[in-house]
Amino acid sequence: MADEESTLVEGEDHPLWDWPVRGIHWLIVVLLPASWWTAEEGYLDAHQWLGMTVLIAVLTRVAWGFTGSPQARFCDFLRGPAAAFGYLRGTVASNTPGHNPAGAYSAVLLWSLLVLQALTGLVNSDDVLFTGPFHYVFETDVSDRLAEIHDWLFNVILAAIALHVGAIVYYERVKGQQLLRPMVTGRSTDRSGTGPTQPIFKALVLAALWAAMLWGLMELAPAPPSLYSW
């Protein structure tokens, strides 16, 4: 059985990264600067829609980590902290052509930060022209505290992105491992996937389900208090 599996992996050139992984990755690359710009320029309604799109994209990627193609799944690349530190020290090898043990934690950290950033944005308010759909779910002091987290968390995300980009440059230039090419084309000259990719429509269904869930929760959210008392 082991010989048959080895023959399957080595004999077939499967894509390393499927369309959903690549599409979500580059969508986030576009959405983050757009979200920053709309916030800076005061286009807060557009900023909210961009933030919700980021949330749906990341949640879809998380769900894809359980149902997607081999290298997209958490069971393929997520290992214990000891393996991650061992990989950084050079004492533990990566056992997957996808994310290495340390890179896996970097990706999970960035996804977690983006989800937290989007969720705190949904309770934000400028007390003048914009109020997030979940602002009135909490008491005012709680909503204000979450809004503060939303503001400074963006700097943490920038630091995580800088670390991510620095790691890419290091692996590309120093270790000679292709990271950008497979994230664009899906394929690499030095690695290939261990199995066939899942169809993209499955990821689109997941995204639609997350969007429907978010819309449903927004419909259930408390409405702003009336300005008139009778």
CB 60 within 8 A of CB 20: yes
pLDDT band at 12 (very low <50, low <70, confident <90, very high): low
pLDDT beyond 60 at 4: no
| Three-state DSSP state, 125 | strand
Tokens of 223: 């409405």
Query: What average pLDDT does the segment 40-66 reach?
Result: 96
Query: What's the pLDDT at 8?
Result: 37
pTM for this prediction: 0.89
The two three-digit tokens of residue 215, written as one number: 């819309």
Mean pLDDT score of the chain, rounded to an integer?
88
166-181 tens-digit pLDDT: 999 998 888 888 899 9
Is pLDDT of 61 > 90? yes
* Domains, the chain: 23-220 (1.20.950)
Rounded Cα distance between 85 and 188, Å, is: 26
Strands (E), the chain: none
Q: Is a pLDDT exceeding 60 seen at residue 202? A: yes
Percent share of the chain, pLDDT over 70: 91
Tokens of 68: 């997607």
